[in-house]
Amino acid sequence: MNDVFTYGGVAEGENFTDREDETRRLVANFEHGVNTLLVSNRRIGKTSLVRRVRELVDGGKVAVVYLDVFDCRSEYDFYNKLASAVLRQTATKAEALLQNVRSFLGSVSPKITLSPDPTTEFAVSLGLAPRECPPERVLDLAERIAKKLKKRIVVCIDEFQQVGEFPDSLQVQKRLRGAWQLQQHVSYCLFGSRKHLMTEMFQNRSMPFYQFGDAVFLDTIPAEKWIPFIRGKFRKQKMSISEEVAGRICEAVRCHSSYVQQLSWLVMLRTDREATAETVERAVEELVEQNSALFMQQTVGLTSTQMNLLRAIANDLHDGLQSKKVLEEYNLGTRANVGRIRKALVDRDLVEIRENGLYFCDPVFGLWFRSRCM
């Protein structure tokens, strides 16, 4: 990680750009108790946006609790994480936290550990189990604390698609929605990195979280916003980059947030005074190379017809993939077969269905595929 361009972590402070509209919308949702469902492709900026909004909301009226449930494998893993985040992030002192446990969770004996991390004074682990603490009680915890604090609470849950992978997931989702939609003082912001799983949870009518809140689709940051951002960073290092060359960086990675920052860094590393278009070209090759092992791993085990469909997309065929001509030219088998291949590739987050056809989710994967797999 470097202090010029950030990628791989969360963008904050001077490394955060744009998102004015989305920030305003989320701040309003948070302050007025509207649930939010935030969806985007990978590494576009969901986590960074939510963390930014958390800094901006009026702390006198709203307490924002943030948790990442990536490592939760079951309903009670989730409850433990949820309850400790709510307790920990709504109390500044261990005594206040303990009192909340006693008043709202009953016969639970939490373990409080002094954290080696100086930014957090203590950590809490609850060890909740179904017998001493039924789901309803855990799910009501935030509401009861909010009433006590006379503040709204917004619970932001990152990697929420994980809940869709629990044993009995549908029942868990029903339980969560059932409890959450009755709450008056707590709202939720749910988001996660597996776009197609998140979309399935929120947009499928038969799923419990269907239309649970304001659905925000986070798009890429436009080049007009990236260009001054990139140029400013170069200026700070006493280097220059023209509008046109900065525009090439954006274009090469289709304005994808994480890649714009990574590619800009690779260009900066190769620049002495002024960045050139040739430098961008070489940096793009290096970017592809750096990601090559990961992409290779993502294509391991794909069948030959799945690879053939990717080849068609790489040749800029996006719709009409079931036409006789394309089926024959790319050896895709029958029409029904194309439907199955498409589903398999969408499930792997390799391609996505847009209004006008099928596209690669990841623009750099597209570059890699064109140069190595055709």
Ligand X SMILES: Nc1ncnc2c1ncn2[C@@H]1O[C@H](COP(=O)(O)OP(=O)(O)OP(=O)(O)O)[C@@H](O)[C@H]1O
Exactly one of 161, 187, 199, 258 binds ligand X (CB under 6 A); which one?
258
In the list ligand X, Mg ion, none, the entry touching 169 (Cβ below 5 to 8 angstroms by class) is: none
Report the site for ligand X in 166-195 (rule: CB under 6 A).
193
76 contacts: CB under 8 Å, gap ≥ 6: 128, 129, 130
Could you count the other beta carbons within 10 Å of the beta carbon of residue 274? 12
Our measurement of the distance from residue 112's CA atom to the centroid of its chain's CA atoms, rounded to an integer in Å, reads: 30
Note whether 11 binds ligand X by CB under 6 A: yes
Where does this chain touch ligand X (CB under 6 A) — which range of 14-22, 146-154, 162-170, 204-212?
14-22
Where does this chain touch ligand X (CB under 6 A) — which range of 4-12, 67-75, 104-112, 344-352?
4-12
Q: 178 in the Ramachandran plot: left (φ > 0), alpha (ψ -120 to 50) or beta?
A: alpha
Q: Which is nearer to Mg ion, 42 or 175 (CB)?
A: 42
In the list ligand X, Mg ion, none, the entry touching 74 (Cβ below 5 to 8 angstroms by class) is: none
State both tokens at 57.
Answer: 């909301």
**Contacting residues toward Mg ion, per CB under 5 A:** 46-47
Pick from 265, 296, 270, 294: which is nearest to 282 by CA? 270
Shortest distance, position 318 Cβ to ligand X, whole Å: 23
Helix (H) or strand (E) holding 26: helix 20-32
In the list Mg ion, ligand X, none, the entry touching 258 (Cβ below 5 to 8 angstroms by class) is: ligand X
State both tokens at 233.
Answer: 């960073």
Give the residue at shortest CB distance from Mg ion: 47
Shortest distance, position 303 Cβ to ligand X, whole Å: 27
CB 207 within 8 A of CB 240: no
Shortest distance, position 50 Cβ to ligand X, whole Å: 8
Question: What is the per-residue binding string for ligand X in 81-120, x denoting contact by CB under 6 A?
Answer: ----------------------------------------
Q: Which is nearer to Mg ion, 194 or 231 (CB)?
A: 194
Number of residues that bind ligand X (CB under 6 A): 23
What is each CA distance from 235 to 25, 230, 231, 241, 246, in whole angstroms? 32, 9, 6, 8, 12
Exactly one of 17, 36, 84, 279 binds ligand X (CB under 6 A); which one?
17
Exactly one of 30, 46, 172, 279 binds ligand X (CB under 6 A); which one?
46
In the sheet with 214-217, reading across from the earlier edge strand, the strands are 62-68, 152-158, 186-191, 36-39, 214-217
What is each CA distance from 36 to 27, 39, 241, in whole angstroms? 11, 10, 38
Pick from 164, 137, 153: which is nearest to 63 by CA? 153
Note whether 261 binds ligand X by CB under 6 A: yes
Shortest distance, position 78 Cβ to ligand X, whole Å: 18
Q: What angle do CA 119, 159, 313 make, to 5 degrees?
A: 130
Question: What is the per-residue binding string for ligand X in 25-44, x denoting contact by CB under 6 A?
Answer: ---------------x-xxx
Binding site for ligand X (CB under 6 A): 6-11, 15-19, 40, 42-48, 193, 257-258, 261
